[in-house]
Amino acid sequence: PQTDIVFLKVHKSASSTVMNILFRFGETHNLTFAFPAGGGNQLHYPHHFLAKAVQGFSPGSPRRFNILCHHMRFLQPEVQKVVSSSAVYFSILRNPVQLMESSFMYYKGTSAFSRARSLEEFLSQPSRYYNPASGDRHYARNLMAFDFGFNPDAEPSAKRVQLILATIEASFDLLLISEYFDESMVLLKEKLCWDLDSVVFFPLNSRDTKTKAALSAATVEKIKDWNRLDWEIYTHFNRTFWERIDRDFGRERMRREVRALRERQAELAGTCLQGTGSVAPQDIKDSSLRPLQHGSARIVGYNIKQGLDEETERRCRRLVTPELQYSGALYKKQFAPRRP
């Protein structure tokens, strides 16, 4: 199994669920994480990543960490200072239309979105609300391109797009697609030589469907146009994702593997969860399992069954622990003061 991993955690793209998978694997195998200095949840973000932003890194004695997975703006020469040269690099992409709708709800307090009453109003006159000089502009335009390290306001010329795609392809071993999350987990399992239980998941940091808005065809086209760099990145890697499946897997084998993953998840849900799945934030009984609520979004969570044996309870709890709580617990464990 691969134990040296770089995951570029792109915002609002099912990346918290991927992070939970990495946290569980790292904890189970006693691996080290490249945590943000001071134990936060972002690595020098929204500035480009710097090795010195990692807790425990010092240029004099460069320590290598197994897993780098917290939010960062990608800068590979700096990343290479903190991970092994054999590390597997991967990331996840989401359709920019859904990404923009989600960002508008989640980052409603940012400078670009706060004054617009709706996403449609913002898109009718983006220049009225969007300031390229503001420090939080990236949440409102080409967020994926920004997280990969590029300028979100750059002209999306054919030449620039080709350069961006070639740069991403040269840096990353695997690009997952959040709309095909199950297939993505099968590809990830294969790439990392992990077993099925290592990539089993319950969706985390997901929004209550009641707060999701349907978008008109005109709004969809405006979103694609406003986020042209992201649209080009997404459509290219969505295509190569399926080409990879056809080349390395075949659709029939992929269907079998996805079925096995879903059956295992259903089995674990029956073992672990009260009710049929996620619940609204106010209905989560254990406050330590309540996810952070942000913007206008309502983030759902889970209740674990009562009366489980200790080992099962621990495994179930890991599956549903929100990102911030899990990250904080692993940070404390990794940097616990050593007893004399």
Neighbouring residues of 38: CB distance < 8 A, sequence distance ≥ 6: 55
Q: What is the pLDDT of residue 62?
A: 75
Helix, coil or strand: residue 176: strand
**Two tokens at 52?**
């010195």
Its pTM stands at 0.95
Token representation of residue 120: 């449609």
Q: How many CB atoms within 10 Å of residue 101?
A: 21
Instruction: Phi first, then psi: give them for residue 82, nearest 5 degrees.
Output: -115, -10
Query: Which residues, 6 or more positions from 40, have their beta carbon under 8 angstroms from its beta carbon?
Result: none
Ordered per-residue pLDDT tens for the chain, 340 residues: 999 999 999 999 999 999 999 999 999 999 999 999 988 899 999 999 999 999 999 988 778 999 999 999 999 999 999 999 999 999 999 999 999 999 998 999 999 999 999 999 999 999 999 999 999 999 999 999 999 999 999 999 999 999 999 999 999 999 999 999 999 999 999 999 999 999 999 988 887 766 677 899 999 999 999 999 999 999 999 999 999 999 999 999 999 999 999 999 999 999 999 987 899 888 999 989 988 887 667 788 999 999 999 999 999 999 999 999 999 999 999 998 776 6
Half-sphere exposure of residue 78, counting CA atoms within 13 Å on the CB side? 17
Contact 141, 222 (CB under 8 A): no
Asked if 10 and 142 count as a contact pair (C-beta separation under 8 A), the reply is no
Q: What is the pLDDT of residue 212?
A: 72
Start-to-end Cα distance in the chain: 34
Name 93's Cβ contacts closer than 8 Å, sequence gap at least 6: 10, 13, 144, 175, 176, 177, 178, 233, 234, 237, 238
User: Which CATH number applies to 5-245+323-335?
Assistant: 3.40.50.300
> Residue 70: CB partners within 8 Å, gap ≥ 6?
9, 19, 34, 35, 36, 41, 42, 43, 327
Q: Which residue has the tokens 């090795």?
A: 51
Q: Record the tokens describing residue 35, joined without a space.
A: 């945590």
What's the alpha-carbon Rg for the chain, to the nearest Å?
Answer: 20
- Per-residue DSSP letter, 108: T
Query: Dihedral angle at the C-alpha atoms of 23, 92, 214, 100, nearest 10 degrees?
Result: 100
Strands 88-93 and 5-8: parallel
Tell whether omega for the bond before 46 is within 30 degrees of 0, i.e. cis. Answer: yes
Which of 149, 158, 150, 127 has the alpha carbon at shortest distance from 140? 127
What's the Cα-to-Cα distance from 60 to each of 35, 38, 56, 273, rounded to whole Å?
19, 20, 11, 48
